[in-house]
Amino acid sequence: MKLFGRLGSIYEMLGVAMHRNTFAVILLLLACALLTQAQTAPVTLNSPNGEVEFRLDSGPAPTAAGSGLRYSVFYRGKPVIKESSLGLDLQGVPPLALEQIEAKNGTVNESYTVPAGKSNPVRNHYNWMQVDFMANPRERRVAVEVRAYDDGIAFRYVVPKQMWLTNARIKRELTQFTFAKDAVTYPLVLPGFISSYEEEYQRRMLTGLPARWLVAMPLLAELPGTAWVGITEANIDNYAGMYLRHESGLTLTTQLAPRLDDPEVAVIAPAPFATPWRVIMLGDEPGRLIESNIVINLNPPSLIADTSWIKPGKTSWDWWSGSYAENVPFKPGMNTETLKHYIDFSADSGFPYALIDEGWAAPVGKGRPSDLTRSAPAVDLSELLRHAKAKNVRLWLWAHWSSVDQQMDVAFPLFEKWGVAGVKIDFMDRDDQNMVGFYRRVLKKAAEHHLMINFHGAFKPDGVRRTYPNVVTREGVLGLEYSKWTGRITPVHNCTLPFTRMLAGPLDYTPGGFGNVTRENFVPRETQPMVMGTRAHQLAIYVVFESPLQMVTDYPERYRGQREFEFIKKVPTTWDETRVLAGKPMEFITMARRSGEDWFLGAMTDWNQRDIEVPLTFLAPGKYEAEIYSDAADADKQPTHTTIERRVVQPTDTLRLHLVTGGGAAIHLRPVTTN
């Protein structure tokens, strides 16, 4: 069936005076790929279980205001996204009508393994279609590709290689998200396109979002009685990051990060190219979105053939406490003896890594914060590398992105020679097309030299960890570090992140603060920082927050003699299965994750005390020993107090837990072996 009428007089109106590049660009746009007056039945695509439906529909004749190509999304028969515009807006190109020339479809049902993730193996099961369009007489072509999963929809624009196309200059996308009814949204509002994504999430009705707000993704929304929805993007490659603005009524429009060298344009791309996937995650409960692997599935398979060197694990970290130490025979600071102290702490705790943060590399003045090939005078890096190797610990090194940009061709081979495990790269604070390219160049070069990567000062994850699994985690979150200078890191914030930021992928929140205090006793401070909420709440974060490289944030002496530290030492950082048992953003969450035959459970609440019941039906048949770390009876006043108990349980049992204000619980369940 044809969605588009023939290109008529519109082409003639363009005139023969148009430049060849302009013709090439025209070809590009779906943004400009607009429909004729004729209406036809929509093309539809359903998910494998039939509960998710995508409709691609034609519309009125093309206008300068927007595309006539529209889509809608349904979940279990109910509308979620009603007719919303599709398309791209090219610089200097008027809208043209296209004709559908071909529609193909199929099914993919596969599984693959990953070095680290929320589940392993990962199932990738979807139905797909690609609808190709052409504008005659020059045969300019463009396509819309759609995938329907049981837990969501994804679509993107695809422009094939063609004789008329050189460089497309994309000003913006015309993609819209028009909700079927007013929704409760949880936006992350950013001050602009230069941002580290380090803000709090809010709760607002969709119709109450100010038009001036620049909303980052993922965006969580609840359509009462219909679905929970997560909007984000996947596989950002040679493109700009996408944001949302509330246009009017129930509609959100997209906005691309502009290029720094040409702010009127977001993307300059030669054909062939494809835009990132625009992702709409769907579930009947918010926890279903957390369990989803749709973002990673939308990325190409791994380009790293041998991933055996990519190893998740926990690491000590000197930065949180300012390289602080207590009762030691040396002066604490960014120096060799202090860093040895942290390496020894990792070794004694069974952690595979020690992360050395800012200050280790030789300063070089303006233009580049440091020289990554030399260490600072107070840091004997060769001695640290020798000492770490003797202790069976590997080092991660911090680096400013500009130093990496200038030195990676020299520094990365050197790091490999030294035996460095990975690099924490910081302060990018952008996701324009050029910066997205930097991320990709880093991952490729790092993989060549067996280096893992942790991006800080970063934009949201997009699932690139499937293609380059050496990116094991990234920041892009308002993390625990902010407790050093603000009161913004609260149990409410912690109970929001799994349902919002974590939908996109792992987050390096840096948990493990043992200076636990009540809200009224909290004081931000640089040395010996405090954290709000109970110690059991901090333990639960190690289960709830996904991060294959997980920080053990506090200084070594804070953990010495503390019984709760045993849980941190035992809890894995990568998982074979993830189940969200209950929860609601900004209120509470209960999550179970499996590693091998062992299960770990984390529960957290906001400032409200809460009694929760946890049916153990997710366990395989048999008996399990449950080691339970829960809030003590007086933990609302003494947040460091935790009750630890052990009991034997089985799948028919239900655990009953009392969480105090700002509280939590962490549980290790392991099968009981019988001789």
| Residue 581 vs residue 368, higher pLDDT | 581
Neighbours of 290 (CB within 10 A): 24
Distance from C-alpha of 170 to C-alpha of 26, rounded to nearest angstrom: 11
Are 233 and 462 in contact, with CB atoms under 8 Å apart? yes
Q: Which tens digits make up the pLDDT trace of 322-345?
A: 999 999 999 999 999 999 999 999
Pairing mode of beta strands 422-426, 176-179: unpaired
Domain 313-476 sits in which CATH superfamily?
Answer: Aldolase class I (3.20.20.70)
Distance from C-alpha of 623 to C-alpha of 650, rounded to nearest angstrom: 5
- State residue 9's pLDDT score: 30
- State residue 26's pLDDT score: 35
- Alpha helices for 122-221 (secondary structure H): none
| Residue 333 vs residue 166, higher pLDDT | 333
Q: Which CATH number fits domain 9-297: 3.30.70.3270, 2.70.98.10, 2.70.70.10, 1.10.760.10?
A: 2.70.98.10
Distance from C-alpha of 424 to C-alpha of 12, rounded to nearest angstrom: 55
Q: Tokens 């709440």 — which residue?
A: 537
Cβ neighbours of residue 16 under 8 Å, at least 6 residues apart? none
**Pick from 318, 393, 314, 312: nearest CA to 556:** 318
pLDDT band at 272 (very low <50, low <70, confident <90, very high): confident
Pairing mode of beta strands 353-356, 361-362: unpaired
CA–centroid distance for 399 within its chain: 21
Segment among 40-44, 302-306, 356-360, 494-498 with least mean pLDDT: 40-44
Given a cut of 60, whether residue 38 has pLDDT beyond it is: no
Coil, strand or helix at 573: coil
pTM of the model: 0.93
Q: Which tens digits make up the pLDDT trace of 623-637?
A: 999 999 999 999 999
Q: Which tens digits make up the pLDDT trace of 6-29?
A: 223 323 333 333 333 433 333 333
Mean pLDDT of 361-390: 93
Pairing mode of beta strands 176-179, 184-190: unpaired
Q: What angle do CA 505, 510, 515 make, to 5 degrees?
A: 145
Cβ neighbours of residue 15 under 8 Å, at least 6 residues apart? none
Domains 9-297 and 313-476 in one fold: no
Cβ neighbours of residue 443 under 8 Å, at least 6 residues apart? 453, 464, 468, 470, 471
Helix (H) / strand (E) element for 56: namely strand 52-57
**Pick from 171, 166, 161, 172: nearest CA to 139:** 161
Q: Which tens digits make up the pLDDT trace of 610-619?
A: 999 999 999 9
Cβ neighbours of residue 263 under 8 Å, at least 6 residues apart? none
Distance from C-alpha of 370 to C-alpha of 404, rounded to nearest angstrom: 10
Mean pLDDT of 492-515: 98
Are 343 and 354 in contact, with CB atoms under 8 Å apart? yes
Task: Domain ranges for the chain, please list them.
Answer: 9-297, 313-476, 479-547+570-675
- State residue 98's pLDDT score: 61
pLDDT band at 68 (very low <50, low <70, confident <90, very high): low
CA–centroid distance for 485 within its chain: 25
The CATH architecture annotation of domain 479-547+570-675 reads Alpha-Beta Barrel (3.20)
Mean pLDDT of the chain: 91
Given a cut of 50, whether residue 449 has pLDDT beyond it is: yes
Beta bridge partners of residue 125, listed in sequence order:
109
**Pick from 651, 147, 568: nearest CA to 345:** 568
3-state helix, strand, coil split of the chain in percent (to 5) is 20, 35, 45
Cβ-count burial 559-574 (b if 16+ within 10 Å, e if not): beeeebbebbeebbbb
Q: What percentage of the chain reaches a pLDDT higher than 90?
A: 83
Q: What angle do CA 398, 399, 401 make, to 5 degrees?
A: 140
